[in-house]
Chains A and B, each alone.
Chain A
Amino acid sequence: MSGDVFTALYTSTAAAPFDDDALAELLAASRAANERSGITGMLLYRRGRFVQVLEGAEHEVRALLERIRADERHGDVRVLLDERIPTRQFADWSMGYQRSAGADEAPPAGFRDTFTDLDDAAGGRVVARAARELSMWFRVRSGQPPIAEDA
């Protein structure tokens, strides 16, 4: 089944801060819809910004992205990555959610900051690496090994 998973990662800015209830509601609706369309992924909300990874059939992911773009609960939707991948990284999650400890503390000397890299204007490899770092973090926090191997 290699090659027929499509993934997209975007960042956006919430129109108004999401509290726990608003997030829970968004996740519940998203999970129900994603189960129907075979979409998996993860959502992160941190300081008024979203990072979301979507995976699934390309037409489903693209159609969902269009709906998400039109959603007035957020704006400045920027798709940073879209590509085919051999294996879903979020196969077990119709839309996983993890709270990030996102403190303001700077990374230790010699360390890059994943969220800064995700916003890297140069894009390309830096953004792709940051996206994979986030995905690894999410999987480990969820009790799985950091990378889903090709089945």
Chain B
Amino acid sequence: MSQLPLPLRSSGVIWSRVEPGFHVGSRGGDFLGYVERQSDGSYRAHDLRSQTVGDFADLHSATRAVEALECARPTEGAS
């Protein structure tokens, strides 16, 4: 367990908790997705269209999945 909060991760992604169980990730002002705790205690990662990216046993893995989204996404054309 780290002692100090580390708001800025090495990836430059900032994670915020809005309320217990609801977490939003952004980078440089651009939002990447969010992670919601499920009633069974698992964590579900979502993209910005609310599509499920995956279910994870722990919060950290779920946030990593959201962060990976960004890298995987090619620069989209004007949509």
Interface residues, chain A, with chain B CB atoms under 8 Å away: 100-103, 105, 107-115, 117, 125, 128-130, 132-134, 136-137, 140, 144-147
Complex Cα–Cα for A115 and B22 (A): 13
On whether the beta carbons of A129 and B14 are closer than 8 Å, the reply is: yes
Q: Is the CB of A113 within 8 A of B20?
A: no
**Shortest beta-carbon distance from A111 to chain B in Å:** 5
Q: Which residue of B lies closest to A104 (CB)?
A: B20
Question: Given A109-B5, A112-B17, are A137 and B24 also a contact pair (CB < 8 Å)?
Answer: yes
Minimum C-beta distance from B51 to chain A (A): 9
Neighbour of B24 across the interface among A101, A136, A145, CB < 8 A: A136
**B18 interface residue per 8 A CB criterion:** yes
Q: Which of A101, A109, A133, A144 contacts B16 (CB 8 A)?
A: A133
- Please indicate the chain A residues that have their CB under 8 angstroms from the CB of B48 in the complex: 145-147
What residues of B have a CB within 8 angstroms of the CB of A107 in the complex? 5, 16-17
Is the pair B34, A136 in contact by a Cβ cutoff of 8 Å?
yes
Q: A133-B24, A146-B31 known; A111 and B17 CB under 8 Å?
A: yes
Interface string of B15-37 (1 = CB under 8 A from A): 11111111110100101001010
Contact, CB under 8 Å: A147 / B31: yes
Residues of B within 8 A of A146 (CB): 24, 31, 34, 46, 48, 50
**In the complex, what distance in Å separates the CA atom of A100 from the CA atom of B29?**
24
A112 and B19 form a contact (CB under 8 A): no
* Inter-chain contact A108/B17, CB cutoff 8 Å: yes
A110 to B59 Cα, complex, angstroms:
11
